[in-house]
Amino acid sequence: MKESTPKTFTECAIDVIKKIPRGRVATYGQIAALAGNPMAARQIAWILNSNWKCDKLPWQRIIGSKGRISLPSGNGLETQRSLLRREGVSVTNDGAIDLDRFQWNPKKISRWQA
DNA sequence: AACCTGACTTCGG
DNA sequence: TCCGAAGCCAGGT
């Protein structure tokens, strides 16, 4: 039979992103790790770029490693900030988010929290 | 097919 | 604290 469609890292990442609960945020590295490659955070960015406009991925829940929105102001920062606040996430004007309070913490993982 | 880029991350100086 | 370099994956040119 056909080999079972080897899910690419992208597919896995998308799957993970879709699982992010509302009112919670995740970092690129976190998603990358869940997808199987903690260092492929870069790929995550590309995925969002390819899906945020045509897919229903909660791209707004994806933020930088320091709990901060990576989008430049005037180009999505406010949009993301608005969406997050709407979900109950506190975001500063600078785009900073309290990871201690809102970072998605799946039970299967426990490495990045140290 | 090759090279470059991307909402990144992490370490070293 | 700021700057620069290396590393990952997939798509576009």
- What are the tens digits of pLDDT across the range A59-75? 999 999 999 999 988 88
**CB-strand contact A27/B, under 7 Å:** yes
pLDDT at site A59: 92
Mean pLDDT of A42-66: 88
Q: Give the protein-side footprint of strand C (Cβ within 7 Å).
A: A 8-10, 37, 39-43, 46, 50
Report whether pLDDT(A109) > 50: no
Model pTM score: 0.86
Which nucleotides in chain C lie closer than 7 A to a protein CB? 7-11
Contacts 24+ apart (CB under 8 A), A28-37: A28/A62, A28/A63, A28/A64, A28/A65, A28/A70, A29/A65, A29/A112, A30/A103, A30/A104, A30/A109, A30/A112, A31/A62, A33/A109, A33/A111, A33/A112, A34/A106, A34/A108, A34/A109, A35/A9, A36/A9, A36/A12, A37/A9
